[in-house]
Amino acid sequence: MKKLSFLLLGITLGCAAQENAAPKLVAEDDAFYNYVAKDAEIEVLAEGFTWSEGPVWIKEGSYLLFSDVPQNTIFKWKEGDSISEFLKPSGYTGILPYSREPGSNGLTINNDGELVASEHGDRRITKMPLVGGGKFTLADTWEGKRFNSPNDVVQASNGTYYFTDPPYGLPKQQDSEIREIDAFGVYKIGTDGSVEMVVSNLSRPNGVALSPDEKTLYVAQSDFNAPYIMAYNIQADGSVDEGTVFFDAKTILKPGLMGLPDGLKVAKDGTVFSTGPGGVLVITSEGKYLGRIHTGQPTANCAWGDDGSVLYMTANHSLMRVQTKTVGDGF
The amino acid present at 314, given as its one-letter code, is: T
The predicted pLDDT at position 5 comes to 37
Closest to 119 (Cα-Cα) out of 96, 157, 153: 153
Please count the residues of the chain.
331
The predicted pLDDT at position 22 comes to 87
* Burial group, residue 77, by CB count within 10 angstroms (0-12, 13-18, 19+): buried
Helix (H, G, I), strand (E, B) or coil at 260: coil
Closest to 152 (Cα-Cα) out of 223, 209, 198: 209
Query: What pTM was estimated for this model as a whole?
Result: 0.93
* DSSP state string for 90-104: SS--SSSP--S--SE
pLDDT means over runs of 10, the chain (331 residues): 37 40 93 98 97 98 98 98 97 96 98 98 98 95 98 98 98 97 98 98 98 98 96 98 98 90 98 97 98 96 98 98 97 94
- The domain ranges of the chain are 3-323
CA 92, CA 73: separation in Å to the nearest integer?
9
CA–CA distance from 129 to each of 58, 73, 126, 193 (Å)?
12, 17, 11, 18
The predicted pLDDT at position 14 comes to 36
Question: Bridge partners of 66?
Answer: 75
CA 67, CA 262: separation in Å to the nearest integer?
14
CA 224, CA 261: separation in Å to the nearest integer?
9
CA 161, CA 19: separation in Å to the nearest integer?
38
CATH number, span 3-323: 2.120.10.30
Q: Is residue 307 within 8 Å of residue 331, measured between CB atoms?
A: yes
DSSP character at residue 289 = E
Report the 10 Å Cβ neighbour count for 100: 18
Whether the ω angle into residue 97 lies within 30 degrees of 0, i.e. cis, is yes
